[in-house]
Structure formats: C-alpha cells, structure tokens
Amino acid sequence: MAALASGTCGIAPVARFDTSGCHSHRAALIDGFDPAQFIAPLKLRRVDAVGRVALASMRLLFDDAGLTAGGNHDIGIALGTYTAGLDSLVEYLGGLTDHGPMGVPAILFSNTVSNAPASLCAIEHALHGPNVTFNQREASSLSALVFSVGAIRDGRTTAMVSGGADGIEETFFKVHDRFRSMSPMRRFDPMDEEARPFDRCRNGFTLGEGGFLVLLESASAAAARGARIYGEILGVGAAASRTSVNGWPLDSSGLIKAMRLALADGQLGPDDVAAVMATANGSPLLDLLEAEAISEVFGVRQPAVASVKGSVGESGAAGAASLVAGLLSMANGFVAPTAGWMEKDPACLVHVSSSVQLVSGETFLVNSVASGGTHYSLAVRAIRA
C-alpha cells in the first residue's frame, strides 16, 4: 500500500538481455522474484517464465482468499496474457532451426502454447470450472475479467480466478523496439525513457511484466464462506474501433461506447463515478483519445484519473493491475499517483496528478484499450477499509 500511495516506479534499465543495439533500454521487470518459493523443484523445471508468474500469483491469491490448494474447487480460471508461451516457443524454434528435431527438448513443447499458464494453475489448485485464456494484446486481462463476470452471472460457475500474467521476452522487447513504439519514440531527452501517461512530453510506452489475479465470486458464494470482500464489479462494457495495422484506435468513439455501456450495465450515471483507472500508457495518440473519451462521458464534472502504467509498464496484465490498484486505493479514500506525469498537456483535459488525489466516493471505472481496436471498461465499487 505504501508503494501504491507513493507512486513508486518499477521501470529500470534492462539487465536480463543486451539492449545496446536498441532505441529503448528500460522496462518494468519483476524484481527479486524467486519462483522456488512457490513451485516445487521437480515442477519448476517444467514451467516457463509466465507460467511461474501465474502459479506464484495463484498461490498468493489462494492464501489471501483462505482457500486450500488441491481442494477440488468448483472454480474456473480466465487468464489474460500477451506473452505466455513466447519464451518456450523462441527456444523451441531456435533449437529446431539449429539442431533439427532431435536437438529440441520435448519438455519445452507443452509450454509453447499460450493457455499453458492457466492450465497449470487449474491443475495445481484442482480447479474444476471453466478454463480459458484470452490473448487480446494490451486488453487481455480485462477481456478475461469481463468473461468471468459473464460466467458467474449466467450461472456457469459460482467463482472465477481472473486477471493477467505476462513476462518480457527478449525477442518480444526487440520487436517493439524495432517499430519504435516504446519510449523514447521521439528523443526529447536521450536519458529519459520513462513512461509518462497524459504528460505533455510523453513519447511512447514502456513494457512491463507481472501477475495480477483476483477471485470473483457471486455475492451469495462469498457470503456463505465469510470471504473478505474488496469490492464489487457493477457493470461491464466492450466495444471495438477501426485502426491501422497494429495501431491504436483512430478516434475515441469506441472507448466512449465501452465506458457508457459499463455505466448502463451497472445502473450508474457519470456523477456516481469518483475516479477512472486509465489505460493511458504514454503513447501520444492513445492518451489523447482516452482524455477525449473521459471528457465526453463525464462532461464538466471530471473525476480523478490515474494510470498505473507509469509504474508497472504496459502489458496484457496491466488492466488487472489497474483493477487491483483501484480497489486498494479507493478503499482507503484516494486515487494513486500517476508515476511519470510531470507537466499538464493542454490537449488532455483530465484530472491526473503525480500526487495522491483524495476522493469521497468508492465507485470507479477501469479502462483498457488494445492496439488493434478492442475496448473494455469495468464499473467497480471498492469496499472501504
């Protein structure tokens, strides 16, 4: 909570692989993670990087929820990921190219598919409910959360583990660098490669990694087991927009629609919303489009706005990170600072700050937009601490 309130930034120089030939050199990498604390040694060697993050996150979630691993739970899992399988796939194809079929360890193959982490979590924790993985680029984890809400509402299950897990793989990083999508996309300062959501001098996003999971339950199921409740998802919205290839949406209409659908689904009006956990990541176009969407939806009464991507970077798991950050901060009466924001952009008329913004309400929106034109929005109510 202290790191959240202080706006601590996790972006640092990449030491995992050589970036000397790149235009960008920084990312939000997990620091001090020891998967052996969460996964038995004989299993550990059969799990790749994103699977390790997912399993560790799952263990922490079950501990917090008071659930026992292996308890034959009637719970499903919906995991959003942009990068699951990439580590193993790159290694597998490299071995196949260099040494032929006999030179590739068979143990790699099962991890080359993106649904491996969710399946490993289900096996490890004996989950018997729906099992699905979503690959919708930057919006992957919010896509998984929207699916999970629908599964519970439709009575297909009483509970879902949902959120996202991602890792930064060298080829993935360098492809983004090749297309100049990451900071510094334009070099205002060669030494400054931070993500700067909504900032006047923003010049591209910074990649991140991590695992962010929540347990979604029906109200009756949570009450029956005396669960600690962090909040309630009141409404969901989804839309799509035209884009250029691999580009951000061409206008703000899709995100406006998703936000309004989430409000309508939750039977809320704009005045009921105290804050927006934004999808802004420091990209010049995306941040401007979201600012326009927020201004259109809320009019003159603008809510507090924050983005976690200046702290944790951009990934398929970032939408779930926004949800978790919103639940924890709003429960304590504030919106977290936006790391990297320093100077107001006159074109982005939103209430964003590098300091804590105090709020009186508990209801907030979580936005997520994928390059390619997918939009999601959740309307959420935090439970006061």
Distance CA 174, CA 30 (A): 18
The top-level CATH class assigned to 231-382 is alpha beta
How sure is the predictor about 4, in pLDDT bands with cuts at 50, 70 and 90? confident
Share of the chain above pLDDT 90, in %: 84
Name every residue whose Cβ is closer than 8 Å to that of residue 70 and which is 6 or more positions away in sequence.
124, 125, 126
Identical fold at 2-224 and 231-382?
yes
CA distance 120 to 123: 5
Given this model, what pLDDT does residue 2 score? 82
What would the two tokens of residue 376 be? 């999601």
CA 66 to chain centre: 24
Residue range 174-223, pLDDT digits in tens: 999 999 889 875 555 545 678 999 999 999 999 999 999 999 999 999 99
Residue 250: φ, ψ to 5°: -80, -20
- What's the mean per-residue pLDDT of the chain? 94
Would you say 145 and 319 are in contact if contact means Cβ atoms under 8 Å apart?
yes
The domain segmentation of the chain, as residue ranges, is: 2-224, 231-382
Angle between helical axes of 116-125 and 49-65 (0-180°, round to 10)? 40
* pTM listed for this prediction: 0.95
Cα–Cα distance, 205 to 193 (Å, whole number): 9
How does pLDDT run across 312-330, given as a tens digit for each residue? 999 999 999 999 999 999 9
- Backbone dihedral region of 293: left (phi > 0), alpha (psi from -120 to 50 degrees) or beta? alpha
Residue 47 one-letter amino acid: V
Helix axes 86-99, 49-65, angle to 10 degrees: 160
DSSP state, residue 315: S
Reported as a single tens digit per residue, the pLDDT across 244-282 is 888 999 999 999 999 999 999 999 999 999 999 999 999
Name the residue with higher pLDDT: 88 or 239: 239
Q: What is the domain class of 2-224 according to CATH?
A: alpha beta
Of 68-72, 322-326, 367-371, the range with the lowest mean pLDDT is: 68-72
Helices (H) and strands (E) in the chain, counts: 12, 14
- Average pLDDT of span 157-165: 97
Looking at residues 110-134, what average pLDDT do you find? 95
Model pLDDT, residue 3 = 85
Give yes or no for a contact between 237 and 259, defined as CB atoms under 8 angstroms apart: yes
Q: Where are the beta strands (DSSP E) in 19-75?
A: 26-28
SS3 content of the chain, % helix, strand, coil (to 5): 35, 20, 40
Q: Which helix (H) or strand (E) holds 367?
A: strand 363-369
| pLDDT recorded at residue 346 | 96
pLDDT (0 to 100) of residue 189? 57
Give the separation between CA 50 and CA 40, rounded to whole angstroms.
16
Angle, helices 86-99/170-178, rounded to nearest 10 degrees:
100
Q: Is it the case that residue 145 has pLDDT exceeding 80?
A: yes
